[in-house]
């Protein structure tokens, strides 16, 4: 089962010609989840030619303009397609107010159901979306406005199936093989019951994606993103501007790397760059992060990140 992240926007504060505002799309087979929806999100989706029109949920970190200004256009555009399933808008308090005010003021034509799910207690980590074989959790961040991060984590997968063991136990090739692989017991013609544990290896972990932006350092972040296959994390300031980062409640790239290292993530992409950051500045952000966590790279608009299963 494919799991891919499409980086749609890596900028903070204001869009630039080559850097749209914060947004990322996670695709897990037929399920699609948009994390934040900054200005330019529609353009990035079009450039990547993504089949985005059946997005399950849009998960908003907070209601600062650079994370939500693309939302009205996305909602209106979704009325141009055949949609029968509801769209979930998930985020901290005031998301519903933002949605309702824009819907009234713009007289939006919406021909599908929108379910606004405000996180009632954003200071507590919690499951905000449950899918088949995975869940999305929110967890608190520390910004100038109520802000949350997100993780998408798959359920553990069954162990590797050993057909030779099944044959030795007398299991006929065919349907019973499939049943055992999916975790079901099977009953043979002689009445014996064969359990998956007799023919499967050890349970394998599912994949985990984490999304963190707009926050001052918090010890709890590393715990929430622990073991992620990929962490998309803001790194807005170089370490010489640590005081400015603290004042504005953002992370330096070094602080982001410290989170990644403490959490034992496999890989981290930096994003949410300041509009003042040119290419030279970005390279400095990257170099400082790699001093702490070498498996760091600069996320770029239009980039695709594959999250393969770990065997």
* Higher local confidence (pLDDT), 207 or 83: 207
Calculate the alpha carbon distances from 295 to 5, 194, 238, 258, 264 in Å: 17, 44, 18, 12, 11
Average pLDDT over the chain, rounded to an integer? 93
Based on C-alpha coordinates, what's the Rg of the chain? Answer: 22
Within a domain: residue 219?
yes
Residue 251: count of CB within 10 angstroms of its CB: 29
H/E segment holding residue 87: strand 87-91
Report whether pLDDT(92) > 80: yes
Q: Which of 66, 214, 229, 301 is catalytic?
A: 66
- Let me know whether 129 and 229 are in one domain: yes
Within a domain: residue 17?
yes
Q: How far is CA 72 from its chain centroid?
A: 21
Q: In terms of Cα–Cα distance, which of 64, 58, 19 is closest to 36? A: 58
Q: In terms of Cα–Cα distance, which of 86, 87, 152, 95 is closest to 119? A: 95
Within a domain: residue 311?
no
H/E segment holding residue 222: helix 219-225
User: Tokens in use for 71?
Assistant: 């939302």
- Let me know whether 235 and 108 are in one domain: yes
pLDDT confidence of residue 79: 82
- Catalytic residue check, 240: no
- The predicted-structure confidence for 268-310, as pLDDT tens digits, reads as follows 999 999 999 999 999 999 999 999 999 999 999 999 999 998 7
- Let me know whether 170 and 121 are in one domain: no
- Let me know whether 140 and 253 are in one domain: yes
Number of domains comprising the chain: 2
Within a domain: residue 60?
yes
Report whether pLDDT(97) > 90: yes
- The predicted-structure confidence for 175-194, as pLDDT tens digits, reads as follows 999 889 888 899 999 999 99
- Let me know whether 191 and 58 are in one domain: no
- Let me know whether 187 and 57 are in one domain: no
- Let me know whether 117 and 47 are in one domain: yes
Last residue of a domain, one of 173, 198, 223: 198
- The predicted-structure confidence for 126-172, as pLDDT tens digits, reads as follows 999 999 999 999 999 999 999 999 999 999 888 888 898 989 899 99
- Let me know whether 22 and 117 are in one domain: yes
- Let me know whether 43 and 132 are in one domain: yes
- Let me know whether 147 and 285 are in one domain: yes
For position 74, which CATH number holds? 3.60.15.10
Within a domain: residue 265?
yes
Within a domain: residue 224?
yes
- Let me know whether 99 and 43 are in one domain: yes
pLDDT confidence of residue 299: 98
β-partners of residue 114 are 87
For residue 226, the 8-state DSSP code is T
Calculate the alpha carbon distances from 14 to 66, 234, 265, 277 in Å: 7, 15, 29, 12
Last residue of a domain, one of 180, 198, 216: 198
- Let me know whether 189 and 142 are in one domain: no
Domain of residue 178 covers 163-198
């Amino acid at each position: 089962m494919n799991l891919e992240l499409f980086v749609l926007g890596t900028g903070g504060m204001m869009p630039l010609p080559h850097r749209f505002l914060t947004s990322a799309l996670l695709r897990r087979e037929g399920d699609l989840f948009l994390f934040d929806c900054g200005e330019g999100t529609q353009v990035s989706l079009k450039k990547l030619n993504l089949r985005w029109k059946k997005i399950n949920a849009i998960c908003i970190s907070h209601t600062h303009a650079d994370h939500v200004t693309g939302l009205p256009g996305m909602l209106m555009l979704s009325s141009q397609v055949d949609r029968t399933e509801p769209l979930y808008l998930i985020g901290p308090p005031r998301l519903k107010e933002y949605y309702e005010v824009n819907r009234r003021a713009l007289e939006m034509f919406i021909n599908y159901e929108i379910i606004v799910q405000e996180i009632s207690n954003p200071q507590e980590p919690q499951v905000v979306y449950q899918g088949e074989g995975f869940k999305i959790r929110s967890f608190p961040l520390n910004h100038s406005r109520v802000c949350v991060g997100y993780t998408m984590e798959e359920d553990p997968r069954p162990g590797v199936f050993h057909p030779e063991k099944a044959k030795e136990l007398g299991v006929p090739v065919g349907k019973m093989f499939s049943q055992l692989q999916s975790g079901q017991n099977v009953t043979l013609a002689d009445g014996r019951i064969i359990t998956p544990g007799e023919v499967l290896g050890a349970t394998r972990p599912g994949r985990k994606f984490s999304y963190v932006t707009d926050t001052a350092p918090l010890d709890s972040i590393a715990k929430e993103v622990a073991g992620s296959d990929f962490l998309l994390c803001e790194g807005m300031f170089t370490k010489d501007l640590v005081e400015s980062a603290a004042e504005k409640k953002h992370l330096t790239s070094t602080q982001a790397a410290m989170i990644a290292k403490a959490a034992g993530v496999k890989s981290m992409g930096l994003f949410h760059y300041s509009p003042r950051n040119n290419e030279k500045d970005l390279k400095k952000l990257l170099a400082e992060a790699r001093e702490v966590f070498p498996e760091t790279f600069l996320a770029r608009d239009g980039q695709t990140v594959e999250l393969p299963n770990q065997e």
